[in-house]
Amino acid sequence: MKNVNVKLPDDPLNGSSIEELGSKLRNGSITCFELTQIYYKRINILNSQLHAYIYINEEKALSWADGIDKLMKCGVDLGPLMGIPIAIKDICAVEGMPTTNGSQIISDDITGSEGSLVKRLKSLGCIILGKTHTVEFALGATGLNKNKGTPRNPWDKEIHRMPGGSSSGSAVAVASGLAAFAIGTDTGGSVRIPAALNGIIGLKTTKNRWPTDGIFPLSPTLDTPGPIARSVKDTKLIFNTYNDVNYRTKSLDIKNLSFGKLKEPFTSNLDPAVGEAYEKICEQLEIQGAKIEEVVIPEASEKGVLFPKIVGSEIISAFGIDRFKKNVDKMDPVTGNRAKLGLEVSSYEYIAAKQRVDQLQQIADKYFNTYDALLSPTTVMQPLDISKAEIGKELHERSLLASANTQPVNIFGICGITYPIQKFVKNNVDSILPIGLQIICNKNDDEKAVEIALALENQFGEPELPDVTKFL
């Protein structure tokens, strides 16, 4: 039953952008302290239902906000993200906050102390609201976490649907207006998948564009941090501000772009609505003047062999084999079983897998000599009912396909961004569950991926957002 006595403050980003919010802070329309209070009021009302946050940093964050206000009054300007409240995935160390890595196993010593990424965000004046839920040790694409709890996808009040993983809480927080943006990590799709399943934007950066120190080392070969945001416009501001580049560059024109429309294995096992949305967005891009050609990348299927050999070996290395064997049975069964695969990998197989990843990264170049970007559905499904996706349930095996289309981007060492396209599905359902379009660009072409996504956003609109008032 709806609690009519609860007054939910308006989402500060409703109909606005991070840049506009920053302008309000600078012209005195709102203080950083007031803005941070609004976010905490929303968190305190909704988090008990949505479970986006595992740790709230209210007292310290309000103190930071007060400090930012004083700096602004003194004329100090740290850049466009100054005073913006954000959330951090709970595999990233933040000084003064616990790091659980989504596990009951003590592992903060493996994560280490606060790293360069968080320090950089602090130096830009971001206010860290708290830590968000994650799949245990970030090893999983569904968002399910038996031990620490599974965030609720805000698009459905009646059915607890997959939030996507492993950056589950980060995506739920952003989609629900509980943070202006959030930081996730992407080893096999863990920024793009939850962003897609929550109907927002997630950028998988090129390896080494953003640092990984102070982040649990699930896979040093494949780990990449990235932003999760409400719009591509905001994503561009975040990424370019972080990298200290000019964020006011001219947007691309769709009619000047060429796309490779990925087919098998990226179109295997698609939900009908996902397949329909994918075809319709490609048709619309052609109508707008873009060049579209179907492309098959057979090497993409190698992710099924390479990913478990590399990730399984490297998570065991992070723990040390004796510590891993002692603790693996305490892990969530899905996480533990996936991690155990590393025990079966010989040193020869691991080295061969690493060498093949290097080769694939060279192979990827040829596709981007022809196309500005490659396109695919971000996930093969819309968010599933988690009660049917758990071990032993009818949709468990299908839920494990959540990363089928994202893992190849990681093993090719390239970058990608997801943009919501459920609006292209035509039916009589009042509420369409999220569907993501994956836009893939070559290594170190992150800015280009963002600009292409922005061209789509300028043409087709910013993401629609869920109505979280139904959770009151």
List pLDDT tens digits, range 143-163.
Answer: 999 999 999 999 999 999 999
pLDDT tens profile 434-449: 999 999 999 999 999 9
All residue ranges of the chain with pLDDT < 70 are 1-4, 247-250, 427-431
Rg, C-alpha atoms of the chain: 21
DSSP string, 354-396: HHHHHHHHHHHHHHHTT-SEEEEESSSSPPPBGGGTSTTSTTH
Burial of 155 (0-12, 13-18, 19+ CB in 10 A): buried
Is the Cβ–Cβ distance between 202 and 107 less than 8 Å? no
Which class is 18-465 in CATH? alpha beta
Q: Is 131 an active-site residue?
A: no
What's the pLDDT at 430?
47
Q: Which of 107, 176, 190, 399 is catalytic?
A: 190
What's the pLDDT at 1?
42
Separation between Cα atoms, residue 365 and residue 209, nearest integer Å: 18
Q: Is 426 an active-site residue?
A: no
pTM for the full model?
A: 0.97
Q: Select from 46, 38, 35, 34 the least CA-distant residue to 6.
A: 46
Separation between Cα atoms, residue 353 and residue 360, nearest integer Å: 10
Separation between Cα atoms, residue 396 and residue 405, nearest integer Å: 17
Tokens read off for 236: 């561009």
Q: Which of 103, 107, 166, 231 is catalytic?
A: 166
Torsion of CA 418, 422, 425, 430, to 10 degrees: 170
Tokens read off for 6: 């609860």
**Domain range summary for the chain, segments of one domain joined by +:** 18-465
pLDDT tens profile 305-360: 999 999 999 999 999 999 999 999 999 998 999 999 999 999 999 999 999 999 99
Q: Select from 232, 272, 234 the least CA-distant residue to 377.
A: 272
Q: 3-state class of 342 per DSSP?
A: helix
What's the pLDDT at 426?
80
Separation between Cα atoms, residue 3 and residue 239, nearest integer Å: 39
Q: Is 190 an active-site residue?
A: yes
What's the pLDDT at 248?
55
